[in-house]
Amino acid sequence: MTYRTVIHTPRLTPAQRQYFEERGRLESHHHHHCLHHHRPLALESLRRRFRCDINTLPPAFDPQRVRLVVSDLDSTLIALETIDELAAEVGAKSQVAAITERAMAGELDFAAALRERVALLEGLPVARLERVFETRMKPAIQPGAADTLAWLKRRGIVFAVVSGGFTFFIERLRRILPIDHALACRLEMKGGYLTGRVLEPIVDKDTKTAFLRDLARRMGLDPMETAALGDGANDVAMLQAAGLGVAYHGRAVVRQHADACIDFGDWHALRQLLEHP
């Protein structure tokens, strides 16, 4: 069996280059390297040793066949947790952030934790959501995301976002990023204020997985022709359902179930994973 391992750095020291060349055929690309080899590598050890992302593609996965990429929103496409920023508007950020972290680590039921956090937003003016989007979310779009989404578009790859976050923000992101499909939760609003309730259905791990599978089915795709990105426990099942599941600066529970881990780099690393036949 021949393995393909992407080394997500354009620069290797002579010693690092020698290490990889002794294990297979090393190809140099503009922003990264690709190693073709016959024996598995100890990836975690190498990542710590070389301080860069190193990922072996699943043997049955062909990057050239990918036609659908599905991504989580918070801490994946954007570098923040939206609900934590909303909570800052009512002086409850630390309280909500603590719940968010436990939910993303898989320590809490996601739906129950979401309802608990949204309840603390009762009375927040909807106009504040617009301010959060303009001043915090837009500047927090992950480095390399816009370029990578444009690259996906040029290749005819559909890009979708599925999130336990909120449609209010994704609708506005779609005005500035090429997002083809989206699914998220809806905040209940009355008289220009949040009621403190989230409308059903809540986008949990099962909803995310079903979203990916349904999109693939409607596009006539095999699951191996899809890729997915996420960072929290709510994303694990979706990553496992995709041909390539990528943990993007993910929690431990996500990293241990993912096919690839992006811990040091940004969204350009996804492009590098999808470039090799």
Residues 70, 162 contacting (CB under 8 angstroms): yes
74 is catalytic: yes
Q: Return d(Cα 128, Cα 77) in angstroms, integer.
A: 22
Return the SS3 of 188: strand
Residues β-bridged to residue 185: 166
> Which one from 53, 74, 231, 259 is the annotated catalytic residue?
74
Active-site residue (options: 53, 62, 72, 109): 72
Are the CB atoms for 5 and 54 separated by under 8 Å? yes
Query: How many C-beta neighbours within 10 Å does residue 139 have?
Result: 10
Residues labelled catalytic: 72, 74
